[in-house]
Amino acid sequence: MKKALNKWCLPPDMSIREAIDISVRMGYDGLELNVAEQGELTLETSEEKLQEISSWAGTARLALHSVCTGMHWRYPLTSANPDTRARGMAVARKQLEAAKAFGADTILLVVGLVTEEDPYDAVWERGLAVLRELAEEAARLEIHLGVENVGNYFLLSPLEMRDFIDAVGSPWVGAYYDVGNTVALRQGWPQQWIRILGERILKVHVKDHRSVGPGVTAGVISAPLLAGDTINWPEVTKALHEVGYDGYLTVEISPYRYYPTKLAQDAAESLGVLMSG
């Protein structure tokens, strides 16, 4: 497996070029960039700028292996509002465009947001329709669509996520599995998700949590990687090996308040421990 960092792990005002340089210095193999409303990578970012970013990474010998976004919380791909849905599709298409320029093989998608106004069954059907449409574009570009398990009140079990991905019916659609989200959302044990999703797993996010409170009623709070007590990391890495996963483990944790780049340094060391176990 390979070490990677999501740019969200670094100070928000850090430039992409600085993020590339620091990722290399800290021993990462890859960096995941994020399409945002503002900054260097937005819907308005030119092809020329995308190629410049790609050139920076190429010179540094760092893979820009995936493109993420937080914009699908504001513009859900399954919204009943057609204008909102269209904006969400524009974001996904920009992710695909950026991924192609960077040589990335996957984009992360938050597919669906269940609300009082957007019920579960409607989100399921719209989500399938959206992914089938995007999968045609992804196939032409040879880029995969990774559906993340996340706090959107959708795909609440590994069986459901497996069946949803299979229902799309495209080899270009799989799971972007987040180990920490399973625990934070109280959705079971990550190693079980991994074994059930199996070869559908395209990419893996890692973060950690510490339990707060007694017994089964305990909540969780974020913790540095390997500093938590809620994830059986030896079983997680064992399950990843069992299903044949040999891709990136991408850290997605907010930087420390003080000395923020120390988070990335600590996480790189923790990833080394995970990968050697």
Query: What pLDDT digit, counting tens, does each position of 114-130 carry?
Result: 999 999 999 999 999 99
Q: Are 105 and 143 in contact (CB under 8 A)?
A: yes
The two tokens of residue 204 are: 């893996």
Give the CA-trace dihedral at 158, 162, 167, 168, to 10 degrees: 100
Kindly state the average pLDDT of the residues 10-16: 96
For 185-198, what is the mean pLDDT? 97
Cα–Cα distance between 198 and 158 in angstroms, integer?
Answer: 10
Winning range, highest mean pLDDT, from 66-70, 209-213, 218-222 = 66-70
Q: What does the pLDDT average to over 146-151?
A: 97
pLDDT digits (tens, 9 = 90+) for 220-243: 899 999 999 999 999 999 999 999
Region 201-209: what's the mean pLDDT? 97
Task: State how far the Cα of 92 lies from the Cα of 174, in Å rounded to an integer.
Answer: 15
- Indicate the pLDDT class of residue 170, thresholds 50, 70 and 90: very high
Cβ–Cβ under 8 Å, residues 16 and 57: no
pLDDT at 136: 97
Pairing status of strand 248-251 against strand 30-35:
unpaired
For the segment 186-196, the average pLDDT, to the nearest whole number, is 97
Is residue 215 predicted with pLDDT exceeding 90?
Answer: no
Comparing 215 with 160, the larger pLDDT belongs to 160
If residue 166 lies in a helix (H) or strand (E), which one and from where to where?
Answer: helix 158-168
Query: Cα separations (Å) of 169 from 138, 203, 205, 267?
Result: 13, 19, 24, 36
**Token pair recorded at residue 136:** 């045609």
Residue 86 has which token pair?
Answer: 């269209």
* Under 8 Å between Cβ of 67 and 32: yes
Tokens standing for 191? Answer: 């190693």
Q: Which two tokens stand for residue 202?
A: 């395209």
Structure-token pair, residue 96? 């695909």
Across the range 60-79, mean pLDDT stands at 98
Please, what are the domains in the chain?
A: 2-276 (3.20.20.150)
- Residues of the chain with pLDDT > 70, as a percent, come to 98
